[in-house]
Amino acid sequence: MVNKVLLLDTSVATLNIGDEIILDSIRENFPELFENNYIYSLPTHTLHFSLLQKLLYRKKIRAYSTADYKILCGTNALYTNMLRPLPSWNINIFNSSLVKNTICLGVGIGLNSTSVNWYTRWLYSKVLSKKYIHSVRDEAAKIFLEKLGYQVYNTGCPTLWGMTSELCKRIPDSKSDSVVFTLTSYQADRTRDKAMVEILSKNYSHLYFWPQTIDDLGYLKSLTNDLPTIISPNLLSYDRFLDTEIDYVGNRLHGGIRALQHAKRTIIISIDYRAENMAKNYSSSNKNSYGEDGYNSTNKNKTNSSMGDKNASNKTSNKNAKNSSNKNASNASDRNCHDESDRY
């Protein structure tokens, strides 16, 4: 039987290539979803249809609302306050019926309020499935949805589902002469970021920079006049470059995970809770330490090292999504950070 599967695509109309990495990872590691079904998509970042379009093209639009399965794919699509002006999942009181009974797949949460208001609770009750178990990528999202009455598993980020022990054994033990690095323009720390660039310049013969968003390149130019070689800001160019002999260092989480997917020596510098919580979830050398909201309860100004070693398995990821053992070979240090609006 062929099912109609509507993908609520977070990689369309995004300004961050990290969303493309997430969706590509879902396609790569969840072939059962794609091989025998009819797949079609709607973007999450933009409004779906206007009221007039719904009235004029009711039959055509019904093809979306009547999908057998509607799957929300990755990124921080959930928020504690959905009254925010431009959510990653742009649903509201007028278009919610189109995505009724949506199932989350590797979805994260952003905190943009101290509590969950009545509108947000109501909106999620209209769009999220009560029949199926939801997959989320962190403990915060799991606890958030459980408190709203949904069945949830923390399956880890879809980008980690392919991090098998076999892949991690391919990661070189020796340092390369070349490094690709990333910066995060929306969470700028000019002193530390400039120091990182200088350290890399002293320790590598060849430097390359990949802008995960277009603003990252402008930020780099504001830090130094001695620019490295720039890799074109698209995923295809980055993937091709990662097939060469190269190390990765940077504070773009999914830029670093993409390097790990290519079996590269990787250091991910944490600037928010996502990498920090991955360190605690997936590292054999760290014990979990979460508060009631699912966020790390330790001092956020402390340095968090060793995001994982080659033998560290993901204790929370499970076959409910893919049953793959998530391996990690990156390090993380923490930069205090509070803005949740543009995390991918």
**Strand-pair partners of 247:** 179
Q: Identify whether residues 30 and 115 lie together within a single domain.
A: yes
Q: Are residues 63 and 174 in the same domain?
A: no
Contacts of 166 (CB under 8 A, 6+ apart): none
Total domains in the chain come to 2
Say how many residues make up the chain: 344
Question: 285: domain CATH number?
Answer: 3.40.50
Same domain, 189 and 336: yes
**Mean pLDDT, 10 residues at a time, the chain of 344 residues:** 94 94 96 93 88 85 94 93 86 91 95 91 97 95 96 95 95 97 96 97 98 96 96 98 98 97 96 81 54 46 34 34 36 37 42
Q: Crossing angle for the helix pair 253-261 and 235-242, nearest 10 degrees?
A: 50
174 shares a domain with 316: yes
**Residues 114, 33: one domain?**
yes
* Sheet with 178-182: strands ordered across: 229-230, 206-209, 178-182, 247-250, 266-268
Tell me, yes or no, whether 257 and 296 share the same domain.
Answer: yes
Based on the domain organization, do 11 and 142 belong to the same domain?
yes
Residues 310 and 219 in one domain: yes
Give the model's pLDDT for residue 275: 83
Q: Are residues 339 and 217 both part of a single domain?
A: yes
Region at 106 (left for phi over 0; alpha for psi -120 to 50; beta for the rest) = left
If you write DSSP's letter for every residue of 290-305 in order, what string do you get? B-TTSSB-S-TTS---
H or E segment at 252?
none
In 3-state terms, what secondary structure has residue 80? coil
Q: What is the pLDDT of residue 294?
A: 56
Query: What is the bridge-based pairing of β-strands 247-250 and 178-182?
Result: parallel
Q: Tell if the pTM clears 0.85, that is, is over it.
A: no
60: Cβ contacts below 8 Å, ≥ 6 apart: none
Which domain, by its residues, includes 264? Answer: 163-344
User: Per residue in 147-185, is it b (16+ CB within 10 Å) or e — as a string?
Assistant: eeebebbbbbbbbbbbbeeebbeebeeeebebbbbbbbb
Among candidate residues 107, 124, 154, the one where a domain is terminated? 154
pLDDT value at position 284?
Answer: 52
CA distance 32 to 14: 26
Same domain for 249 and 125:
no
Last residue of a domain, one of 127, 154, 181: 154
Question: Do 148 and 190 lie in a common domain?
Answer: no
Same domain, 133 and 218: no
Give me the phi and psi of 189, to 5 degrees please: -135, 90
**Single residue among 154, 181, 210 that ends a domain in this structure:** 154
Whole-number pLDDT of residue 330: 38
Give the largest CA-CA distance in the chain. 63
